[in-house]
Amino acid sequence: MITYPRMADVIPEGISGNVKIEHFEVDKTAADFTRLRAALNPGRDEYVPEGKYARLVVGGATMMTDTLMEKSSNRAVVLISSGHVLIAGLGLGMILWPISDKERVLSVTVVEKSPDVVKLVAPHVPKKVTVVEGDIFEWTPAKGAKYDTIYFDIWPSITTGNLEGMAKLHRRFGRFKAEGGWMDSWQRDHLLRQQRRERRDPWRGMVRCGGHRVG
């Protein structure tokens, strides 16, 4: 079982530059509405139970929340993480807690492009975690570094347009993956399936609206 902290209890609200950490409440009425929305959109993890949540907003757009959608869509990396872990994208730092709790995880390095996200979130990550400010498309690990787990999570929306960037990162960091290691990107398998469907049916791609992180 994966245990996450309630991020509103971990990270205080704050503003730095164009980045905001906000706390928000989902009451029973709102939760019931999301339950209905989930029933109409199976497989989209639209349901948000009652409770208090945190939201990371960058430039007016929601980058992530600590809702069920975020937890389920990041489940694979939390379960498989071991050894030395490299993650691109700090977000709220939500997945860093269950990853760091694992005895077989030795270290976690997070590369985050936004200095304002680093300022607001980095002081509140687990002790095993080192946050590095940098652009993952340009940042290079130390000479000889190898990672057992590599995960890229830098996209605010779910669209097949993300696949090009994912492919570049997978090629670039393949040489830093330890033998027998694991590397993936957020929602990559889902987007590859979507891309195959769009190629079979071009009209699907033309009318489809990209999904977004819930919140």
37-46 average pLDDT score: 70
Positive or negative torsion for Cα 176, 181, 185, 190: positive
43-64 average pLDDT score: 88
144-168 average pLDDT score: 96
pLDDT for 97: 98
At residue 214, the 3 state secondary structure works out as coil
pLDDT for 208: 38
pLDDT at 207 > cutoff 50? no
pLDDT at 30 > cutoff 50? yes
Check: CB of residue 78 under 8 Å from CB of residue 98: yes
Q: Residues 180-201: pLDDT tens digits?
A: 999 999 999 999 999 998 888 7
Q: Residues 64-112: pLDDT tens digits?
A: 999 988 999 999 999 999 999 999 999 999 999 999 999 999 999 999 9
Domains of the chain: 7-70 (no CATH), 74-191 (3.40.50.150)
The better pLDDT of the pair 171, 30 is held by 171
Q: Residues 102-151: pLDDT tens digits?
A: 999 999 999 999 999 999 999 999 999 999 999 999 999 999 999 999 99
At residue 174, the 3 state secondary structure works out as helix
Q: Per-residue confidence at 168, pLDDT binned at 50, 70, 90? A: very high
Residue 9, judged by CB atoms within 10 A of its CB (0-12, 13-18, 19+), counts as: exposed
**Tokens 């791609």 map to which residue?**
205
pLDDT for 201: 76
Nearest to 134 by CA among 121, 116, 115, 153: 115
pLDDT at 39 > cutoff 90? no
pLDDT for 43: 61
pLDDT at 44 > cutoff 90? no
pLDDT at 209 > cutoff 60? no
pLDDT at 32 > cutoff 70? yes
Check: CB of residue 156 under 8 Å from CB of residue 63: yes
